[in-house]
Amino acid sequence: MIPDTAAPAKAVPGKPLLFQIRSLLPGLALCVAVTALAFLAARAEVALFGEAWIEALVLAILIGTTLRTAWAPPARWQPGIAFSAKILLEVAVVLLGASVSAATILSAGPALLLGIAGVVALALLAGFGIGRLLGLPVRMAVLVACGNAICGNSAIAAVAPVIDAHSDDVAASIAFTAVLGVAVVLGLPLLGIGLRLSGVQYGALAGLTVYAVPQVIAAAAPLGATAVQVGTLVKLVRVLMLGPVCLLLSLLAPRLGGDAVDADAAAPRRVRPRPPVHHLVPWFIQGFLAMIALRSFDLIPHAALPAMEHAATLLTVVSMAALGLGVDVRTVARAGGRVTAAAVLSLLALGTISLTLIRLIGLT
């Protein structure tokens, strides 16, 4: 699991803070190097094919995992890797809140807003149920369900620290979600044309089913500008559901239990005390919601928004590189078939629920 000891704010007795900061540098530098390779690979894709079919975020995990398979980083690298996987990721989630404002949300209209919330809720329940029926551990089932229902890799990355997910589970969920994301971008326009959906209807479908905002734009573009505009708006509202979902999961996390069998089966089960109220909402979720409020009241300088978006992207990719560096590829391979089946079936359920909503609210 992502270790809590990654946070540098808590000084270890007998160790100066400067020493602790220096201990992060080797692992942090390694994660940054993997990130640089991922961005270079993405640029190479653009040069060769005109666009990056595999995002830098996914490439960072693949490169990190490949490196980890060939070489296990020694202990002195681990603090920086753990810091990158946890703290940098949480900072990225906070910055993500600056991309959403209340005005953008309200412009979608009450019926569609409630419908999006309903789709996310139903997709979460369906995805979790499918994952458990296929035998996935509780936390991996939660990751797959959240990635499918909200925003793919970003949702998985944001939910992981909330539920204390294992890095192998995070990497496996992201890897298979990434593959499906590309498949949806390529196949969804054909479905829209086959069903003779209007630009508004197809845009809503793309926003409800495609994982990332850039992928929504790519999937919606073949059916025109209206589809792109509607799809982007719906997708932004769907991303907003990440905050409430993380809040709910933070309340449920102590009840998820462990997926491993206790070595001492005869030992009585310990009842974990209820955490303090201020611990029920992780600091980065509070920051995420605060950023939305600041953006809504126009308290964030417009010139700062692009820089914040780029920073969030960069930090997320660095954290994914760290997750890749902590992955035992054999564990991922063992979980592969079940995770793939869970992701595919969850995606089909999401598509069915989304089409039902479009018909029910009468989008034209």
**Residue 271 counted as domain residue:** no
pLDDT band at residue 274 under the 50/70/90 scheme: very low
Please report which confidence band the pLDDT of residue 201 belongs to, taking 50, 70 and 90 as the band edges.
Answer: very high
Q: Is residue 21 part of a domain?
A: no
Of 33, 34, 25, 9, which Cα lies nearest the Cα of 78?
Answer: 25
Backbone phi, psi, residue 35, to 5°: -60, -45
Please answer whether residues 317 and 58 qualify as being in contact, where contact means their C-beta atoms are separated by less than 8 angstroms.
no
Structurally, how many domains does the chain consist of?
1
Residues spanned by the domain of 167 = 26-68+79-253+276-361
The residues near 206 (Cβ < 8 Å, ≥ 6 apart) are 188, 192, 216, 219, 220, 227, 231, 234, 235
**Pairwise pLDDT comparison (50 vs 351), residue with the higher score:** 351
Across 313-327, average pLDDT = 86
Residue 156 lies in a domain: yes
Confidence (pLDDT) at 52: 74
Give the integer Cα–Cα distance in Å for 322 and 84. Answer: 6
- The phi, psi pair for 269, rounded to 5°, reads -75, 130
Residue 218's closest CA among 76, 51, 41?
A: 51
Residue 2 has pLDDT above 90, yes or no: no
| pTM of the shown model | 0.66
Which range among 44-53, 254-263, 306-315 has the greatest average pLDDT?
306-315
Domain membership flag for residue 19:
no
Residue 8 within a domain: no
**pLDDT for 172 beyond 70:** yes
Q: What is the mean pLDDT of the chain?
A: 81
> What burial class does residue 179 get, using C-beta atoms within 10 Å of its C-beta: 0-12 exposed, 13-18 middle, 19+ buried?
middle
Residue 267 lies in a domain: no
- The single-letter code of the amino acid at 144 is V
What whole-number distance in Å separates Cα of residue 204 and Cα of residue 208?
6
Within a domain: 265: no
pLDDT at 205 over 80: yes
Q: Which two three-digit tokens encode residue 120?
A: 């996310």
Place of tokens 């979460």: 124
Position 35 scores a pLDDT of: 96
Let me know if residue 9 belongs to a domain. Answer: no
pLDDT of 118 reads 94
C-alpha closest to that of 200 among 230, 235, 233: 230
CA distance 175 to 103: 34
